[in-house]
Structure 1
């Protein structure tokens, strides 16, 4: 069995992770932006490793994210207690209906709209990153950009600390392969109306490099 597989969305995040690594057995790959490409690429990487007789021992989805104000500070680090497909479901006059509440047969839901982080892997990351905020990390296909939609997400997921675009998809691929999964994010901006002047990309990338020192 080979080492840990760390997957980011874009090359800049992968470079930040590599800059902090001390373990040469950790593999880092940028898999693309959004759930579709992230899930497909992760599944391919895991299948190729397994076919070669060198399966990975665990998968971590890592990168920068938006944080819910008052829950995760800009420049801080968060660990996902669970990764959530936050926009997978249906709209209704009474509000959003998650996929698992739509009455579909369980076999059609696959992993379901929420995947819990592997307890042992999450525990090791928490011990190594005691200042990290732990909570749900939401995966969305459209980045939240209004006050109303931010409030709706925060109300629907009271334990959510951050929002990104790949974690749940990577988690599904890991679950299908039977491999432990965790999600690690550093916060570049508060979720809500887009204010590029308020984004702190450099601080988030620096924090990502620091957090990567704990990955092994």
Structure 2
């Protein structure tokens, strides 16, 4: 199986890369790693260029995220079943018109692969933003409009690109912080990365058993 592992930054998936290169997983799966850079524009461009070079059987987006949902634990790894470009649309005074309502496209994209391992993870709804939330008023407005569980800066762009070329895709996120007025002292990035990579390793090993 030829897999594409996509991340915004190399440090988010470095433990997996080190493990993969030192075990028999390297013989079982041909894994390409694509580090796109942060943000939806960098992600979409990098994936478009990568997909023009060849075909993949499957793509995985792995990274950390913030959670609006306090029922998700810090450090927990979740599968994002749907992800939305929440800024894609227009303001209408105090209201927001989505790109669907404007009649110009769609804003929500879906993970298109599942198996028994993924079904053991909590499935959540995500949003993709250019500016992560850190102000109470904008957090409350976003919750009222979209009721998301998690947010990232790349997820929907990844799912969009995979959909365009018909490649099965899944988005995995580990929670580094709750979405609240910005407080980096409360973030648990190391824990999130450790758990993300543990889940990623077990997921790819499970793919080997499915073959």
User: What is the TM-score with the length of structure 2 in the denominator?
Assistant: 0.87
Does residue 34 of the first structure (1) align with residue 26 of the second (2)?
no
SS in 2 for 1:32: coil
- What TM-score results when the alignment is normalised by the length of structure 1? 0.85
State the partner residue of 1:59.
Answer: 59
Aligned twin of 1:52: none
Q: Aligned to 1:46, which of 34, 48, 51? A: 51
Q: Residue in 1 aligned with 2:118? A: 126
- How many pairs does the alignment contain? 198
The answer for the alignment partner of 1:9 in structure 2 is 8
CA contact (8 A) 2:80 2:123 kept: yes
* C-alpha distance in 1 between matches for 2:88 and 2:184: 27
Superposed, which structure 2 residues align to 1:116-195 within 5 Å? 116-118=110-112, 121-127=113-119, 130=120, 132-158=121-147, 160-195=148-183
- Corresponding residue SS for 2:149: strand
Correspondences of 1:82-101 after superposition (within 5 Å): 82-101=82-101
SS class of match (2:42): helix
Listed as ranges, the gaps of 5+ residues in structure 2 are none
Change (3 A) 1:71 1:157: farther
How far apart are the structure 2 equivalents of 1:211 and 1:113? Answer: 28
1:126-172 superposed Cα distances (whole Å, 9 cap, x missing partner): 24xx2x321111110111111121122222223x2210011111112
1:55-78: per-residue Cα shift (whole Å, max 9, x none)?
101111110010113242211111
- 2:108 alignment partner in structure 1: 114
Unpaired runs of 5+ in structure 1? 50-54
Cα distance in structure 1, aligned partners of 2:71 and 2:4: 28
> For residues 20 and 89 of structure 1, do their structure 2 counterparts lie closer, same or farther at Cα, with a shift above 3 Å needed?
farther
Give the Cα separation in 2 of the matches to 1:190 and 1:168.
20
